[in-house]
Amino acid sequence: LIQDRCRNMGLARSPKDIVELENKVAELEKKKKKEYSSFSAAFMHYQKLGILYEALNKPMKTLVYSKKKIELLNANIQMTEILPYSTLFVAELEKVFNLEFTLGFYDQLLDSFETLQELSSKNPGSRKLMQVSLFSLKFNSCMRTGKFEAALKHAQKIRSFYEEMDFSETLEIRRNKLILECAVANLALKNYQAALKNVDELLMGSASDLSSDLYYFSQILQVLVYFEKGDIELLLYRTRAAYRTLYRHNKLHRIEKFLLDFLKKENSDGWDKKAETQVFTTLQTNLAQFFKSYPEEKKLLQYFDLNAWVESKIAKCTMADIIEARHAKLFASAGGKQLLKAITSLDSGH
C-alpha cells in the first residue's frame, strides 16, 4: 500500500504529501530491531522506509536502507533463490549503484558494478533479469555522464529484453521511465523527431497507467523539444495545453509553472536569437534563486538536467559537453577509466 501510494503520488512536493510521509517515517523509525519476528519482517520494515525516503527525495537515507536490505539478503543468501527476494536483490544492487553515483561515492561504483556483472554470469535462473539490470546501470550511468549515444544503444538492448519478459506493473513503470529518458537523450543529441516520438509514446497512455510524475513531465519535455526545433506556433499551443492539464490534476508545481511561464513569455512575440545568451544568463540567475527558495523543487532535476541545458545555451555548446565536464575528474582516474569502459560497453559480460 505504501509503495502504491508513493508511486501514484510521484515525488512528494506538496506540503501535505511531505508531512504525511514524514509522519509515517517517524512512526516506522521508532520500531526497534528486536521487534522483527522474522527475516521477512525485517526486510519489509527496511523496504517501507526505503520507499518513503525515496518519495521524499532523501538519497542518503534511501541508500542506508538499500544497503541494510542487501546485508540482510547476504546474511540469508538462500532467500535470494525465491520470489520476491530474487528480483528485489537485483533491484537493490542497481539502486545502490545509482544512489552512490548521485551522492558522489565514486570510489565504490566499480565494485558495485562488478558485483552485478558476476551475479549475471553465475545465476542462469535469473540471468535475463540480471542482464536487464546491468544494461539499466549502463544506461543510467551514461545518461548521468553525458554519454547519450551510448545510452540510447543500451536502451535498445533493454527494450529487447523487456519484449521477452513477462510484463508486470513494475516493469511497465521502468519501461516508461526509460522512454522518457530516451526522449531527453534524443533532445540533447538534437534528434528532435525521435524525442517527439518518445514523448508521444508516453502521452498515448492515460495518466492512470503511468507513474504520474513521468506522464506530466513528458508534457513539459514536449514543449522544450518544440522550443529547440524553433517551432514557436506548436510551442505556444502545447504550452497552453500543458498549463491546463497540469493545473487540472494538481501537478502544476512551482518549477513547472516557472518553466512554462518562461517559455510562454520569451516566445510570445517570437524568439530573439540575438538576445539568447542574455536571456539564458538571466534564467540561470533566476533558477539559482528559485531553487534556493524552494529546494524541494529540485526533484524535477531527476528527470531533466535543467541546469545543464541552461548552461549549454550560455556556453554555446551541447548538454553532453557540460555534463561530461562535470565528470572529467572521475574518469581521469584509473578506476574511473575502467568504469567508463564498463558503462559504455555493449557487452553484458566482463
High-pLDDT (> 90) share of the chain, %: 37
Three-state DSSP string of the chain: CHHHHHHHHCCCCCHHHHHHHHHHHHHHHCCCHHHCCCHHHHHHHHHHHHHHHHHCCCHHHHHHHHHHHHHHHHHCHHHHHCCCHHHHHHHHHHHHHHHHHHHCCHHHHHHHHHHHHHHHHHCHHHHHHHHHHHHHHHHHHHHHHCCHHHHHHHHHHHHHHHHHCCCCHHHHHHHHHHHHHHHHHHHHCCCHHHHHHHHHHHHCCCHHHCCHHHHHHHHHHHHHHHHHHCCHHHHHHHHHHHHHHHHHCCCCCHHHHHHHHHHHHHHCCCCCHHHHHHHHHHHHHHHHHHHHHCHHHHHHHHCCCHHHHHHHHHHCCCHHHHHHHHCHHHHHCHHHHHHHHHHHCCCCCC
**Averaged pLDDT for residues 10-35:** 81
Task: Quick: pLDDT tens for 91-132.
Answer: 888 888 888 888 877 777 777 777 777 766 665 556 677 778
Task: Quick: pLDDT tens for 44-61.
Answer: 899 999 999 988 889 999
Task: Quick: pLDDT tens for 288-325.
Answer: 999 999 888 888 888 899 999 999 999 999 999 999 99
- Asked if the model's pLDDT at residue 183 lies above 90, the reply is yes
> What is the reported pLDDT for 173?
78
Higher pLDDT, 154 or 161: 154
- Asked if the model's pLDDT at residue 209 lies above 80, the reply is no
Mean pLDDT for all residues in the chain: 85
Task: Quick: pLDDT tens for 254-268.
Answer: 999 999 999 998 888
Higher pLDDT, 344 or 86: 344
Judge if pTM exceeds 0.75. yes
Q: Which of 153-167, 232-246, 314-328 has the lowest mean pLDDT?
A: 153-167
> What is the reported pLDDT for 110?
76
> What is the reported pLDDT for 350?
41
